[in-house]
A and B are shown apart, each in its own frame.
Chain A
Amino acid sequence: MALTPPAPPAVASLACSGCGAPLSIRAPGRSLVVACGACGAVLDAQSADHRVIARYEAKRTVTPRIPLGSRGTLKGETWEAIGYLARRTQVAGVTYTWFEHLLHNPTGGVRWLVECGGHWTLAKIAAAVPSAPGPLEVEYLGERYRHFQTATAEITYVVGEFPSQVRAGDTATVEDYVNPPLILSGEKTKDETSWSIGEYVDGDAVWKAFGLPGEPPERTGVGAAQPSPFTPRSKTMLMLLAAFVGAALLIHLLFAILAQQRLVLDAAWEYHPPAPTTASVESEPFTLTGRSSNLMVEISSTLSQSWAYFTLTLVNEETGAARTFGREVQYYFGRDSDGSWTEGAPWDRAWLPSVPAGRYVLVVEPESPRPVTYRVRLTRDVPRPLWLWLALGVLGVPPLFFWWRQWRFEQRRWEESDHPRSGSSGRSDDDE
């Protein structure tokens, strides 16, 4: 026997008992009241005469973003907008307004599509009452939610039909707990407490689902339940950083193992001033082998409370090419009111870059106000740790920037809560 889908419930049309405006009941049997947006009358949706059971002064008319009667598919189910209300709360003298669209599906029940500052959540009645493991958190179906804010919400406008008694002026204490993209809301009145669980929905998805014209309202700040675009990639970023740091260490280690690091010259000389014309000394010839690589130059001396400047020239005996460079060594020490102090060191180290293979001599021309004994050592192909540290620093910049943005995103989320995070640099309304 073939199953046929149930026919959609008939829409009942009626005239408002208060002002005669046309009204519809799109969820007969489920709706308890129907509110007239024109005059503020709240009618009994289940009685035959649809009598007025409450009335409020409709000071203004709010046009629902999703017109009543619109149908759309969200989260895999088709919904029809049947009710709409506006609510507000005051925090520190500032009035915040948000809007709730009641959606209905004959088999799926009802959902609340809540819009606040361009952020949307699709909420339904919670399946269980949350427990409170801590003062600022609740647990619901095994997940923990952090307290976001508590406020007194007042209904300021209502239109359409609802499965419960609602009227403008009704107030309730609303507690929100978040675990993005979910938000758990408790609504307390003097009679009852009800809980709903909502999930963040992108405004574009809402617009597309209901075929609404134009663009969704611009988002302000970060929504309470808005999922962070950074959180899913944070672990990946950490793993990438670890992998790249490991690779940098490996590269350095590999070159440290494979590098020649061969001492090619170790010579010591003495300098006695003033002898500028006879101070120049020349080393024994030495040979550099292998590919072009660096040459580490180390100068150690007997300097004390003095300085020496060394002009060094590396001469390729085969080609005659010469590379001249200068190094200064100075070493002072003493004691004053701040305690002991030193300046400089009696030694120096430098790396001569990209020196080709060949037979060389080193010419040294020292200059110093005092006699000095110095020693020059040349070591071929020595990996510089400086490049490793620089590489590690540069590799860390993008993740640090990423994590700063992630932190900033959360900071902006909690700026609007009862628990703003410290270090706020002011409210920012740009989108994420």
Chain B
Amino acid sequence: MTKAYAVFAGLVLATLAWIHFTGWSPSNVTEDKAVPKSVRDNPGSYRSSYGGARPYTGAK
């Protein structure tokens, strides 16, 4: 396993050097703007004060 690890680590280090050298990145630099404006203007909506069961108001 140590030999396999040495080969694996060599590949990881080579990839690290190559990424540093070329500035390559697999991720998309663009951030999604799909969040609706109503949500973006209403931050913290997931917080506890917004959640939980609604109080019982009676029902017929």
Contacts and interface: CB of A to CB of B under 8 A. Distances in A.
Nearest to B17: A251
B58 interface: no
Interface of A: 233, 236-237, 240, 244, 247-248, 251-252, 255, 259, 291-295, 297, 307, 309, 324-328, 330, 332, 334, 336-338, 341, 343-344, 350-355, 369, 381, 383-384, 387-388, 391, 394-395, 398-399, 402
A327 B53 CA distance: 36
B59 interface: no
Interface residues of B, number: 31
Nearest to A391: B16
A383 B18 CA distance: 11
Contact of A326 (B15, B17, B31): B31
B16 A293 contact: no
B30 interface: yes
B23 A244 contact: no
Interface in B9-39: 9, 12-13, 15-17, 19-25, 29-31, 33, 37
Contacts of A337: 48-49
A282 B44 CA distance: 34
A332 B44 contact: yes
A237 B33 CA distance: 46
A381 B23 contact: yes
27 contacts: A233-B1, A237-B1, A237-B2, A237-B5, A240-B5, A240-B9, A247-B13, A248-B12, A248-B13, A251-B13, A252-B16, A255-B17, A255-B21, A326-B31, A327-B29, A330-B43, A337-B49, A351-B29, A353-B25, A353-B29, A369-B41, A388-B16, A391-B12, A391-B13, A398-B1, A398-B4, A398-B9
